Chains A and B, each alone.
Chain A
Amino acid sequence: MTVMNYRKAIAEGIGRALRSDQRVVFLGEDVGAAGGAFKSTVGLYEEFGPDRVWDTPISEQAIVGAAMGAAMTGLRPIAEIMFTDFLGVCWDMVANQVAKARYMSGGQLEVPLVIRAHGGAGLGFGAQHSQTWENLLMSIPGIKVAAPSTPRDVIGLLAAAVADPDPVILLEHKALFDAKEDVPDEPFLEPLGSASIRRTGDDLTLVALSAMVPVAVQAAATLEAEHGISAEVIDLRSVTPTDTATLLQSVERTSRLMTVEENPRPCGWGAEIASIVAEEGFTFLDAPIQRVTSANVPVPFAANLEHATIPNADTVVKAVLSYS
């Protein structure tokens, strides 16, 4: 085991993939010589050189398009989009091309690529550099979508994504870069479509993703210590596929469900979770499902406005206390 932070785990995960599979190539803007805009890919260019780690122009369409072509013809590209928001620039590639190739070709084409992007709010980056788009991506059939909340999952989910025959989008969160954790030195993977229970509890189930996982865990600790409420925290980890079994088993015991989401409310990923549990676990529930989400606004710049926009442990505790 080695203690590692989330930022370092990104380079570690990519490095492990490059080391263990010659078909893996890594491309993106400033990912090589500069070590990444967030210094999350430091050392890869030095270790693997320009034939495996490719610095691209500012050309998101070409990055994802080229990764798709390479994936269709025998490589396993990992493409970095610097900020999740820039997926907007190559939305055609993601939503119309990558996601649909297998289906439209009747299974002839295969696109085993990984797209990684850094997303999320809380750091004052403004409305075009702070979004979480798991929910948008989740509504496109043909791609898998995961969002690690810990260093271990950064590495494990990436390993699963690289091994997967389908296109996988991994959304890393900028606010988690300094989170530390022990990670195994030997190869391992965390399967896509498997949620992780971060804290066990009996009175209510909190489902969270990415940076909302530590928020939910912190809220659960306060609820236990100050209010005698025992909350279970489920880290969904991947939204596609969704681990409905873990969810339903938890709600069967707790009878209450609250989602904690960073996206704005309309069509957030939690709406899908709520609908699944309402359909398949209705009889488990003792109360209506609740959702805590960001305000329905573009992420504002000013500190107080931004903090008022995103859920924090306090807002989750308050929501739980007013939830009967």
Chain B
Amino acid sequence: MNAAVSTDELTDWLRMMTLIRGFEERVKNLFSQGLVRGTTHLATGQEAVAVGASAALQPDDWVLGTYRGHHHALARGMSPASAFAEILGRSTGVCRGKGGSMHLTDVSHGVMGSYAIVGAHLPIAVGCAWSSKIQDLGRVAVCFFGDGTTTIGAFHEAVNLAAVWKLPAIFVCENNRYSEYTPIDQVSPVAHAAADRAAGYGIPGVVIDGNDVAAIRDAVDVAADRARRGAGPTIVEAETYRHGGHSRADPATYRPEQEVEHWLQRDPVAAVRRQLEATAEPGRAEQVETEASDQLDRALEEALAAPEPDLSTLTDDVYARAL
């Protein structure tokens, strides 16, 4: 644990981690009540990766994530009300109800899309980084993806291109050990599915504790520094775990009980809470949690009160101007 973490930082982290945890819990409830259509992929257990990476980024940096992406969007500052509304298919949703849970996008906070085709966003993130380089914007593009994503061609093409063009991209692998239901070691021949590949592309690959916010912040900080210097991309592999199933009602029975238990003991939210309690005045953690919970309740109420999109909007945004 990095000594240089201030109480204020810990407070911010706990606030955001609690917000994400509570957000996902509410989404899960909404889903089981039949209020969320289709599918959802929760990030419960993986909050630290999003919060740690965001702590290292500038407001105008870009992030691209996946269908399991509520945490990235919230950590970057997306309003919980507009995120809830999107997931509920309401007109006030951040994508006006067109995207849904898998496609949260908030350009005003640098959230350049959540992508539901595995691997697709890695080359796109590389394009953002390329654009930053061409336009000399000094921005980095961070791409969050899962361990299973290292088995698709797009991963390798993207990393290679970013490396050979020395682009300001950071590839953050959230290694939660599973694709949908398949353990990563059954589909990847190397121990660290993402980081071990870095050597093959001549770039740094680091493996860190993905449940340690400070460790992630520090690793992304180093990577961002390298990126902004024009030295090229980095692969950061954060070892973490999803507390629940892959999606929807997946009971995740394919995971050994001791493994689940081991990771529940290493809950990232509880870890930050302990750190804060050790340094802050008594009651600070509870206060942060109450505030986050109240904020979520208000946001959800607002989202639930919002109307469905007007049918007249159906054909909006297919093109810039209707044909």
Contacts and interface: CB of A to CB of B under 8 A. Distances in A.
A228 interface: no
Contacts of A129: 38-39, 102, 116
A29 B153 contact: no
B152 A58 contact: yes
A125 B38 contact: yes
B119 A58 contact: yes
Interface stretch (B47-55, B204-212, B311-319): B311-319
Interface centre among A34, A123, A298, A300 (most CB of B within 10 A): A300
A124 B38 contact: yes
Interface in A117-162: 123-129
A300 B181 contact: no
B286 interface: no
Nearest to A304: B308
Given A34-B254, A126-B99, A295-B314, A29 B179 contact: yes
A208 B287 CA distance: 60
A107 interface: no
A300 B153 contact: no
Nearest to B117: A128
Given A123-B37, A129-B116, A309 B314 contact: yes
A296 B118 CA distance: 25
B98 A295 contact: no
A58 B149 contact: yes
Interface stretch (B6-14, B21-29, B182-190, B267-275): B182-190
Contacts of B90: 302
A125 B181 contact: no
A95 B182 CA distance: 29
Main secondary structure of the interface of A (DSSP, over half): loop
Contact of A34 (B39, B101, B181, B187): B181
A56 B187 contact: yes
Contact of B181 (A30, A85, A124, A127): A30
Interface in A36-64: 37, 55-62
Interface string A57-100: 11111100000000000000000000001101100000000000
A89 B180 contact: no
A179 interface: no
Contacts of B115: 128
Task: State the majority secondary structure of interface residues on B.
Answer: loop
Contact of B313 (A29, A57, A305): A305
B77 interface: no
Given A30-B182, A125-B39, A129-B116, A305 B152 contact: no
Interface string B255-296: 000000000000000000000000000000000000000000
A33 B254 contact: yes
A89 B119 contact: yes
B148 interface: yes
A305 B91 CA distance: 11
Contacts of B313: 305
A303 interface: yes
B89 to A, nearest CB: 3
Interface in A296-313: 296-298, 300-306, 308-309
Contacts of B232: none
19 contacts: A30-B180, A33-B254, A34-B254, A57-B152, A58-B118, A89-B119, A89-B154, A127-B98, A128-B117, A297-B315, A298-B98, A301-B98, A301-B103, A302-B89, A302-B97, A304-B89, A304-B311, A305-B89, A305-B98
Pairs A-B, 6 closest by C-beta atoms: A124-B37, A301-B100, A124-B38, A57-B151, A302-B89, A302-B97
Given A57-B152, A62-B153, 20 more contacts: A29-B180, A29-B182, A34-B180, A55-B186, A57-B148, A57-B188, A60-B152, A61-B152, A85-B117, A86-B117, A123-B38, A125-B39, A126-B100, A127-B103, A129-B38, A129-B102, A296-B318, A300-B309, A302-B90, A302-B98
Interface of B: 36-39, 86, 89-90, 93, 95, 97-103, 115-120, 148-149, 151-154, 179-182, 186-188, 254, 308-309, 311, 313-315, 318
